[in-house]
Structure formats: structure tokens, C-alpha cells
Amino acid sequence: MGGFWLRILFLDDYKAMIRCIKLVILTASALAFFLQSANAQPMLEKNTVFAANTEGIRSYRIPGIVVTAKGTVLAYCEARKNNSSDWGEIEVHLRRSTDGGKTWELQKKIAHTGVRFEGNPTKKKDGETEQTVNNPVAIVNRQTGNIHMLYCINYSRCFSMRSNDDGITWSKPVDITATFEPFRMKYNWNVIATGPGHGIQLKSGRLVVPIWLAYGKPGEHKPSASATIYSDDNGKTWKAGEMPLPNEGEMGNPNETMITELSDGSVMLVNRNVSKANRKLIT
């Protein structure tokens, strides 16, 4: 059947046959490359950085990874001690690699290791004294070499801390929850969260972090909207940015967001939402 098809192409359209021959040659070349690649060494190697049911942790969620100005790889995530729920006794753990991810230092708890804020108001999972330290977001400052880490506690307060030594030690956390207050003019939020993933530094030097907030019942993750916060003084102070993804239209309840700067200097957000349309939002 394939030969007959080629004959018809030749009789009707010589150029079409030439295109077909080129396609066959390209396909054969691709197949040869595939067969050769199948016998080659894998380009990617799997390395488990955080393994569930180890280190006294039931599960690890909400990961992020950045590479510092010195080339150190920092991997971090939520360490959910007793269950996989978004609420419960949760810590933020970090591991460092100074050889491009081949080997990793032991993981350690980094966020909010001092005074605890026990007890989620409506979502108790692990008892009255639980503390949910959630949604870690790191930003590498290429101008100063510092790494900034933002995270939340009990989805109701937001903190910022800084590392001057490539993630070995971290400064005392600073409460920046007041940064979110301007958003109340449109949404009287009960839940706030950063990220997840990582923030970015723009070419201008500005640090930008995507955030989401929920304004339904206390402790609930929807209705929700997504926005940004930013810093123009190397993370000393933070301000509320725009809310490009409000809870409007058919793409409702936007929440977790990733951010990048495009070549023309504009900023793109790629957003998760739980609307019936089941679509990603890009703005």
C-alpha cells in the first residue's frame, strides 16, 4: 500500500514525492539517532534528595530549588511530620550541594527554629501545639550574593530571612505579614501563602515573589486569588504588587503560581487554578 501511495504522489505531484522522500530520510535519521542514543549513557541521573518516611518525616511536599551565585545548589521543601495534609506539624528542610547535585549535605530544619506559633485556628491535624511552617520560597540575589527565603506559618503570617553564606546559616526571621494588608482592600483574606517554588530577581534588581490568598472561611484554601509582592531594597522591605489573577470569570480560584522574566523584560506568571475549566492561567 505504501508503494501505491508513492506512485500516486509521483503521478500527481512530483514535488509532493520529493517532500515524502525527504520525510523518509529524516525519519530514518531520527530512528538511527534513537537507536544510537538507546545504547548511550543516560543524560540524566536520578538522585533522591528527600525520601518519605525518613528523618522522622512522613512526607515531603512543596519543593523548590535554586542555584546560588557561587554555584551551590539549594533544595528545600515542606517536611510534613505526621501526615500528608497541608495542615499539621510541618517544618521547612534544606539540603545543599556544592558539586552540581552529585552529592548532598545532610538535611536540616531551617525555618522558624525559635519561637513557635502553636495551633492552627480551624485546621488542627496533629494536636493543639502543632505548627504549620509552609510554602518556602527562595530568591537568589545576584547583586549581593545573598539568598532570601520567604515562608508562612499557619497560612496566616509571612516571614523573611536571609543567608549570607550560601545557605549554611540563616538570619533571624522578620515578620512581613503587613505586606499583605493592602490586598484586603479587594479581598479580606484569611489565608496567605507564598509561591510555591522560587521567586526571581529581575534585570532591574527587583526581587519578586508570587503569592496567593484565600478569603473564604478561616483555614479554607478558596475562594482564592493570586498576586505578587516585591522588594527594591534587596529584601529589607517588601511591598504589595499587582493582583493580575483575581477570582473572576470562568478561570476562578487561582492559587499557586510560578514566575519568570521574559527576554523583553516583561514578567510571566503561570498559575494553577481549581476552576471547572481545568486550565492553566498565563498572564
- pLDDT, position 6: 28
Residues with Cβ within 8 Å of 93's Cβ and at least 6 positions away in sequence, in order, are 50, 55, 57, 60, 76, 77, 78, 79, 107, 108, 109, 110
Q: What is the mean pLDDT of residues 122-130?
A: 75
25/76 same-domain check? no
State yes or no: pLDDT of 128 exceeds 50: yes
For the chain, the domain total comes to: 2
- pLDDT, position 24: 37
- pLDDT, position 117: 82
187/111 same-domain check? yes
23/146 same-domain check? no
Let me know if residue 43 belongs to a domain. no
Model confidence at 228, in pLDDT bands (50, 70, 90)?
Answer: very high
Q: Is 215 within 8 Å of 252 (Cβ atoms)? A: no
Predicted TM-score (pTM) of this structure: 0.82
**Minimal CA–CA distance to 244: which of 226, 258, 262?**
226
- pLDDT, position 118: 73
Cell numbers that stand for 180 in this block: 499583605
State yes or no: pLDDT of 126 exceeds 80: no
Q: What is the mean pLDDT of residues 97-126?
A: 86
| CATH value at residue 67 | 2.120.10.10
Peptide bond into 173 cis (omega under 30): no
105/188 same-domain check? yes
Model confidence at 256, in pLDDT bands (50, 70, 90)?
Answer: very high
State yes or no: pLDDT of 37 exceeds 60: no
What does the alpha-carbon distance between residue 73 and residue 60 come to, in Å, rounded to a whole number?
A: 18
Let me know if residue 48 belongs to a domain. no
29/77 same-domain check? no
Q: Would you list the DSSP string of 48-115? A: -SS-TTBTTBSEEEEEEEEE-TT--EEEEEEEESS-SSSSSSEEEEEEEESSTTSS-PPPEE-S--SS
177/232 same-domain check? yes
Model confidence at 236, in pLDDT bands (50, 70, 90)?
Answer: very high
180/100 same-domain check? yes
Q: What is the mean pLDDT of residues 34-40?
A: 56
Compare 279 and 70 and report the one with higher pLDDT: 70
75/29 same-domain check? no
Is residue 4 packed enough to be buried (19+ CB in 10 Å), middle (13-18) or exposed (0-12)?
Answer: exposed
What does the alpha-carbon distance between residue 79 and residue 86 come to, in Å, rounded to a whole number?
A: 11
Let me know if residue 47 belongs to a domain. no
State yes or no: pLDDT of 35 exceeds 60: no
What does the alpha-carbon distance between residue 58 and residue 78 come to, in Å, rounded to a whole number?
A: 11
Integer Rg of the chain from CA: 24
Let me know if residue 54 belongs to a domain. no
Let me know if residue 44 belongs to a domain. no
What phi and psi, each to the nearest 5 degrees, are found at residue 269? Answer: -110, 135
For residue 23, what are the domain limits?
Answer: 2-38
66/172 same-domain check? yes
Let me know if residue 49 belongs to a domain. no
DSSP bridge partners of 162: 148
18/106 same-domain check? no
Let me know if residue 121 belongs to a domain. yes
Q: What is the mean pLDDT of residues 229-239?
A: 98
Q: Sign of dihedral through CA atoms 260, 95, 237, 121?
A: positive
What does the alpha-carbon distance between residue 229 and residue 211 come to, in Å, rounded to a whole number?
A: 7
31/68 same-domain check? no
Q: What is the mean pLDDT of residues 106-132?
A: 82
- pLDDT, position 109: 96
Let me know if residue 45 belongs to a domain. no
67/13 same-domain check? no
